[in-house]
Amino acid sequence: MDKYSEFYNLLDEKTRLFKDIPKEKNIRVISHLDSDGICAASIITKALIRENRPHSVSIVSQLKENIIQELSNEKYDVFIFTDLGSGQIELIDKYLKDKTIFILDHHEINDAIIDNEKIHHINPHLFKINGSKEISGSGVVYLFAEKINDENKDLSHIPIIGAIGDNQENEGFEFLNNQILSTAIANKKINVEKGLKFFGLETKPLYKVLSNCTEPVIPGISGDDQKTIDFLESIDISPFIGNKARKFFNLTADEKEKLISALIIKRNNEENPEDILGNLYLIEGESDGMPTKDAREFSTLLNACGRLNRSSLGIGACLNNHNMKKKAIESLKDYKREIMNSINWYDRNKKDTDKIITGDNYIILKPKDQILETLIGTLTSIVSRNKKITPNTFIMSLAELEDGNMKVSIRIANCDNDTIDVNGIVKEITDFLGGESGGHKMAAGAIIDPELEDDFIAKAINIFETKYPKEIIINEIDD
Ligand code: C5P
Ligand code: ZN
């Protein structure tokens, strides 16, 4: 039997066990704060509503030991952990001994593999399926929900939004995500079109989308509003109607085609001029020009809700609650402001060696309490996508949390080396120094005692320099 059949068999077995749970049992759902986690929470919520099962949902940024301990005092017999839990299974086993537990996750399994009549663990890594690339947490929850009730196929677009949020789309999806995508297409939930893969195409003025776009670059117009406006006029596409800037979806089919050809011609000297084209995942039933139309923008919307501690709006948006979706969309501007604050912090302090330590193959950010604590991972990811930073440079942030702990986030800049495992790095450090860690090969984090900050940094630098030395990971940090 291949690994996928084994995974599907496990899902079959676990959904059967789930269905045997008496209907009156109140169920506690805990999910992760990011876009994938909110997608996962939305799917399980809807599935439980359909089964008439009473439940309550919480979203957490990290499943810390004290949270699990608190859960043990709650009067629930059944717990479902979604998009988290696999890294904390020993703690779950320790504190929630007499409970029935379902863990539906795709994070690396750092602890012992526990699966018994009380703890039901569903994770693709159990079958050596790559949970970082092939399926998201919401994907695992979706497959579970689909087996509980075929009607849940109407949720099949949600795990695509979650997978995009977890960076699992790269010129298409890998196997399990692709199967979910096929279900979403067959059920008329998503429409895949080849089109311009510029972020904000649905919602921003066309000239802004083009001038803001640096990845891929459009020579002569990237970064320059006026030149972009001149370019559009030169190909007979009016950037404005009256005072109002046009958006991509306002263009006629002919204009869209003309624009794409002209952009490809402008990129003639680039390695792959057609790199401006990619798959667009458009959610059926959503209106053009809304941030809920393109799955990529939808994912950002959910992240915004989560990071601003308004996760319930994200769940409402996924489940098509008109009012909540509206409020979620309104939250985007607050999110953008917070992101800008964190990017400005980075730009302002690049030269301040107390705040940003730069080595041959690493950059360490220490924002303390200067940026919103839920955005520490996001800032680390944004820095890691900066094309000016040499590929495979480690980007690590350590910041203070309101509860007195210290949060660590780690990523790899422009990674092109799949032997690097940042989850392994943080685990090695927390095993040695103490603290809780978890994540994926490409994105991981930890919670530590702030007194360990210097030791953590010293140990991390040691690992960066000895395990991943310059010869393997080219350096030269280009500012
Ligand atoms: O918080 P951050 O975005 O840096 O986390 C990166 C990944 O590592 C996320 O998927 C998160 O769930 C995981 N993580 C974890 N345990 C921690 C910290 C982060 O599983 N203590
Ligand atoms: Zn996830």
Model confidence at 473, pLDDT cuts 50, 70, 90, reads very low
pLDDT at position 479 over 80: no
| 428 membership: H or E segment, kind and range | helix 422-433
pLDDT at position 123 over 70: yes
Section 223-237 average pLDDT:
94
- The closest alpha carbon to 116, from 89, 139, 151, 137, belongs to 89
Q: Which of 189, 220, 244 is the last residue of a domain?
A: 189
| CB distance 435 to ligand 1 below 6 Å | no
- The closest alpha carbon to 29, from 378, 405, 312, belongs to 312
* Residue 440, in any domain of the structure: yes
Instruction: Please say whether the beta carbons of 67 and 45 come within 8 A.
Output: no
- Edge-first strand order for the sheet with 100-104 is 55-60, 27-32, 78-82, 100-104, 119-122
Q: Which of 144, 161, 189 is the last residue of a domain?
A: 189
pLDDT at 476: 30
| CB distance 62 to ligand 1 below 6 Å | yes
Q: Which of 172, 189, 206 is the last residue of a domain?
A: 189
Residue whose pair of structure tokens reads 């066990």 in the numeric block: 17
pLDDT at position 112 over 80: no
CA of 174 to the centre of ligand 1 (A): 22
| 194 membership: H or E segment, kind and range | strand 190-196
Which has the minimum average pLDDT: 60-69, 346-355, 469-478? 469-478
Section 144-161 average pLDDT:
98
Write out pLDDT tens, residues 306-327: 999 999 999 999 999 999 999 9
pLDDT at position 273 over 50: yes
The secondary structure of the chain in percent helix, strand, coil, rounded to multiples of 5, reads 45, 15, 35
* Residue 195, in any domain of the structure: no
Instruction: Please say whether the beta carbons of 125 and 86 come within 8 A.
Output: yes
pLDDT at position 471 over 60: no
Pocket test for ligand 1, best of 39, 437, 441, 447 (most atoms within 8 A of CB): 437
| CB distance 384 to ligand 1 below 6 Å | no
**Whole domain around residue 106: which residue ranges?**
3-189
| CB distance 442 to ligand 1 below 6 Å | no
| CB distance 132 to ligand 1 below 6 Å | no
Average pLDDT, the chain: 93
Instruction: Please say whether the beta carbons of 329 and 292 come within 8 A.
Output: yes
End-to-end CA distance of the chain: 51
Give percent of the chain with pLDDT exceeding 70. 97
Section 190-217 average pLDDT:
89
Spell out the long-range contacts of 331-336 with Cβ–Cβ below 8 A and sequence spacing 24 or more. Answer: 331/301, 331/304, 331/305, 332/291, 332/300, 332/301, 332/304, 334/304, 334/308, 335/300, 335/303, 335/304, 335/307, 335/308
Tokens of 27: 């169920």
pLDDT at position 475 over 60: no
| CB distance 446 to ligand 1 below 6 Å | yes
Model confidence at 457, pLDDT cuts 50, 70, 90, reads very high
CA of 100 to the centre of ligand 2 (A): 23
Question: Residue 135's domain is classified under what CATH number?
Answer: 3.90.1640.30
Section 158-163 average pLDDT:
98
Residue whose pair of structure tokens reads 């002919």 in the numeric block: 254
What interhelical angle do 137-148 and 175-186 show, nearest 10? 50
Q: Is the dihedral of CA 150, 154, 155, 156 positive or negative?
A: positive
Q: How far is CA 67 from CA 58, 72, 96, 122, in A?
A: 11, 9, 11, 21
Question: Residue 433's domain is classified under what CATH number?
Answer: 3.10.310.40
* Residue 44, in any domain of the structure: yes
Most confident of 176-185, 272-281, 387-396: 176-185
Distance CA 449, CA 436 (A): 10
Distance CA 426, CA 435 (A): 10
Give me the DSSP letters along 129-177.
--TTTT--HHHHHHHHHHHH-GGGGGGTTHHHHHHHHTT--SSS--HHH
Which of ligand 1's atoms lies nearest the C-alpha of 447? 21
Nearest CA to ligand 1 atom 1: 377
Section 335-346 average pLDDT:
93
- The closest alpha carbon to 162, from 176, 147, 148, belongs to 176
| CB distance 438 to ligand 1 below 6 Å | yes
pLDDT at 229: 95
Pocket test for ligand 1, best of 67, 82, 90, 107 (most atoms within 8 A of CB): 107
Model confidence at 116, pLDDT cuts 50, 70, 90, reads confident
Spell out the long-range contacts of 323-328 with Cβ–Cβ below 8 A and sequence spacing 24 or more. Answer: 325/292, 328/301, 328/302, 328/304
pLDDT at 478: 31
Nearest CA to ligand 1 atom 19: 445
Which of ligand 1's atoms lies nearest the C-alpha of 166? 10
Give, as one character, the DSSP assignment of residue 246.
P
CA of 303 to the centre of ligand 2 (A): 12
Which of ligand 1's atoms lies nearest the C-alpha of 444? 8
CA of 178 to the centre of ligand 1 (A): 25
* Residue 214, in any domain of the structure: no
Pocket test for ligand 1, best of 35, 365, 409 (most atoms within 8 A of CB): 409
The SS3 of residue 443 is strand
* Residue 9, in any domain of the structure: yes
Write out pLDDT tens, residues 410-430: 999 988 888 899 999 999 999
Write out pLDDT tens, residues 30-43: 999 999 999 999 99
Distance CA 331, CA 304 (A): 7
Nearest CA to ligand 1 atom 3: 377
pLDDT at position 474 over 60: no
Nearest CA to ligand 1 atom 6: 444
| CB distance 107 to ligand 1 below 6 Å | yes
Ligand nearest to the CA of 64: 1
Instruction: Please say whether the beta carbons of 208 and 294 come within 8 A.
Output: no
Give percent of the chain with pLDDT exceeding 90. 84
| CB distance 302 to ligand 1 below 6 Å | no
| CB distance 378 to ligand 1 below 6 Å | no
pLDDT at position 477 over 50: no
Pocket test for ligand 1, best of 30, 32, 84 (most atoms within 8 A of CB): 84
| Structural domain total, the chain | 2
